[in-house]
A and B are shown apart, each in its own frame.
Chain A
Amino acid sequence: MDSVKKSWVFRITIAWFALIVFFAIFGPWLPLPKWDQVFDDALSVTPFKQGHLLGTDSNGYDIFSGIIYGARISLFISFTAVFVGGTIGSAIGITAAYVRGKFDYVVSTLFNVVLSIPNLVLSLALIAVLATNVDPNVPTSTGRRIMVLVISLTIVIIPILGRIARAATLSWSNREFVLAARSMGSKDRNIIWRHIVPNVLPAIFAVAFLAIGVVIVAEASLSLLGAGVPDGTSWGSMVARGRNDIEFAPHIIIIPLMCIAFTVIACNYIGDVIRKQLDQRQAKL
């Protein structure tokens, strides 16, 4: 682990995370224009010109502000979906694997059912249904759209992490120390908390970080398909808004894309690091 900590890739990754999390939390208090303030004498300005750090888009919106406000929505959606989905999924998965029997069968079948609908299609369907208002004059508010996005992505995450948790629990619950604890009459709840959860968590974390990357990309894809956050801003909606400008002012779309890619790379990298640690530990056992 120490060698990993010293590697420059690891340091950059952590720095990137720190940066975007800082922006996401403190963005609104930074001395910056609001993301949708129009600078109509500065349209499609390239980075570092006319006082715009990352330039402006074709509407005259400051891209740096957009990135910072967008970090908020993109990170909120992805972290919430993965945290909530991961928690619920793990709880169900661990319980099912520990209890076994009919409950396990039902849970596995349900996981399979949800997993048999491709992620993106499932979230599209959920958004189509949950973000619809019959009354043409009642819009789906940005807040509700974000919540629907979170819920739909959460539902997608539950079986993915649930399965991982279940598989990891299965392999741990037959270990000697678990069996020993059982034979000594420890309560199931204690066994799960003391012996299973600590051992299963790293496996879940490894996949959870990958899942954050997947969710950020899914949010961007949904924006591109017109099912994202329409009149707010997220990195995905910045890409969607700028897709027709790619030829004239590529920075409008490249900058949010780079933010997405960096974040995904960082998540994948951390997931990788955790998995490697895990493999080493298992090799030792």
Chain B
Amino acid sequence: MNKLGELAKRIGQLLLVLFLVTLFVAFLMRLLPADTVDIMLPGQPEEFKAIIRHELGLDKGFFGYYFQWLNSFVHGDFGSFYFAGGSETVASHLGNALPKSLLLMLYSQIVALAVSIPLGLSSAYRAGSKFDRAVSGTLFTFSSIPSFAIGLILALVVGVKLGWVEPLGYVPMSEGLAEHFKHMVLPVASLSFGLVAAYTRLLRSDVIATLKEDYVTMAASKGLSDRRILWRHVFRPSSITLMTSAALNMGGLIGGAVVIENIFSIQGVGFEIIYALGTRQYVALQSLIALVAVGYVLFNVIVDIASGFIDPRTRERRGLR
């Protein structure tokens, strides 16, 4: 098949998945054992509820509603949070919430990679040594402690008792870089623990396998330094595995961020999801979940394309998964 055809096919598949995901989320919300508007706006006059029902397309049957919602969704209208005296658009909330969550996840990935790459390389290099076993054992234990537990403990010990950094809240970069990072340290640390364990482990086994490859032996026989071999010939191919794994971990990270945002009172997307859920704003909830899913799918596609671009072999490898 030619490249253009393959591209078209990929895009077609992507659109199908996106369509099905949003349909699935809409369907989930319709599992509600009652009328959506009755639940969103208890105690409001029927006339008022009828207006809202019509506005949302909830009077048009499932597919009527879904397509109206989808149409608004792709045009950037994610619906509203309703309260007694009015409504607030989800989009306006997202304007504040999205950067917080994205930065939180970005920093967590960066920190996790920055820690796990040297750890993974050195423990693979000295595979079987005391150092290797100590790293593996420690990480194995840490990976079993839930991130919220780490968060609760860090907030109290590092944030309050030691007072090194802020135990909760969020400050945007525009209000000072130092303050921004002081608020981000603990949530990022809580989220990174699990990732560090996963990445180090993955990198270690990948590197051990690569070290056995012929071209590495050859490079060594040419008298290249160990450090150079490790970085140039071993780490580079392994980095793609790592990147792919980082992308796959994004889902878990989003879930983790929901809990960590709650613990550190960061009003990000996870906080909004919990708020929409608690106040029974099902239309807002549907848009938020759909948004998370669409973002996650697109992110994976981008990583997929990028890694295929760097190393054509990964495309085949990922195809097997």
Q: A and B touching (C-beta < 8 Å)?
A: yes
A-side interface residues toward B, CB under 8 Å?
A: 109-110, 112-122, 124-126, 128-130, 132-134, 136, 163, 167, 170, 213, 217-218, 220-221, 224-227, 239, 243, 246-247, 253, 257, 260-261, 264-265, 268-269
Q: How far is the CB of A152 from chain B (nearest CB, A)?
A: 10
Known A134-B34, A224-B263; judge A264-B254 contact (CB<8 A): no
Q: Is the CB of A117 within 8 A of B32?
A: no
Q: Is the CB of A224 within 8 A of B148?
A: yes
Which residue of chain B is the closest to A253 with respect to CB atoms? B152
Known A125-B285, A261-B145; judge A118-B39 contact (CB<8 A): no
- Provide the residues of chain B in CB contact with A239, threshold 8 Å: 148-149
Q: Is the CB of B152 within 8 A of A243?
A: yes
Tell me whether B278 is interfacial, beta carbon within 8 Å.
Answer: yes
Number of interface residues of B (CB under 8 A): 52
A227 to B262, CA, bound (A): 13
Tell me whether B25 is interfacial, beta carbon within 8 Å.
Answer: yes
A129 to B289, CA, bound (A): 13
Tell me whether B274 is interfacial, beta carbon within 8 Å.
Answer: yes
Tell me whether B42 is interfacial, beta carbon within 8 Å.
Answer: yes
A122 to B16, CA, bound (A): 20
A134 to B34, CA, bound (A): 6
A-B contact pairs, 17 of them (CB 8 A): A117-B293, A119-B252, A124-B274, A125-B29, A128-B280, A129-B28, A130-B33, A132-B33, A132-B34, A134-B33, A136-B42, A163-B321, A220-B146, A224-B259, A260-B146, A264-B145, A265-B140
Which of the residues A112, A121, A133, A218 comes within 8 Å of B33, measured between beta carbons? A133
Q: Is the CB of A124 within 8 A of B144?
A: no
Which residue of chain A is the closest to B320 with respect to CB atoms? A167
Q: Is the CB of A268 within 8 A of B144?
A: yes
Q: Is the CB of A114 within 8 A of B262?
A: no
Tell me whether B31 is interfacial, beta carbon within 8 Å.
Answer: yes
Contacts A113-B21, A116-B296, A265-B141 aside, 10 further interface pairs with beta carbons under 8 A come to A110-B20, A116-B300, A119-B255, A121-B258, A129-B28, A130-B33, A220-B148, A221-B259, A225-B262, A247-B160
Interface residues of A: mostly helix, strand, loop or mixed?
helix
- Provide the residues of chain B in CB contact with A257, threshold 8 Å: 145-146, 149
A115 to B141, CA, bound (A): 27
Q: How far is the CB of A137 from chain B (nearest CB, A)?
A: 12
Q: Is the CB of A116 within 8 A of B21?
A: yes
A24 to B29, CA, bound (A): 34
A218 to B141, CA, bound (A): 18
- Provide the residues of chain A in CB contact with B35, threshold 8 Å: 134
B-side interface residues toward A, CB under 8 Å?
A: 16-17, 20-21, 24-25, 28-29, 31-35, 38-39, 42, 140-141, 143-146, 148-149, 152-153, 156, 160, 251-252, 254-256, 258-259, 262-263, 273-274, 277-278, 280, 282, 285, 289, 292-293, 296-297, 300, 320-321
Q: Is the CB of A264 within 8 A of B144?
A: yes
A116 to B25, CA, bound (A): 11
A269 to B160, CA, bound (A): 34
Q: How far is the CB of B224 from chain A (nearest CB, A)?
A: 30
Q: Is the CB of A121 within 8 A of B146?
A: no
Residue among A109, A114, A118, A217 with the highest chain B CB neighbour number at 10 A: A118
A134 to B256, CA, bound (A): 30
- Provide the residues of chain B in CB contact with A253, threshold 8 Å: 152
- Provide the residues of chain A in CB contact with B252, threshold 8 Å: 118-119
Q: Is the CB of A167 within 8 A of B321?
A: yes
- Provide the residues of chain B in CB contact with A213, threshold 8 Å: 144
- Provide the residues of chain A in CB contact with B263, threshold 8 Å: 224
Which residue of chain B is the closest to A223 with respect to CB atoms? B148
Q: Is the CB of B255 within 8 A of A121?
A: yes
- Provide the residues of chain A in CB contact with B285, threshold 8 Å: 125, 128
Known A109-B20, A116-B17, A246-B156; judge A261-B278 contact (CB<8 A): no
Known A224-B262, A257-B149; judge A113-B24 contact (CB<8 A): yes
Q: How far is the CB of A164 from chain B (nearest CB, A)?
A: 10
Known A217-B146, A225-B258, A261-B149; judge A117-B33 contact (CB<8 A): no
Q: Is the CB of B39 within 8 A of A134?
A: yes
Known A132-B39, A268-B144; judge A121-B17 contact (CB<8 A): no
- Provide the residues of chain B in CB contact with A243, threshold 8 Å: 152
A164 to B293, CA, bound (A): 21
Which of the residues A132, A220, A260 comes within 8 Å of B280, measured between beta carbons? A132
Which residue of chain B is the closest to A213 with respect to CB atoms? B144
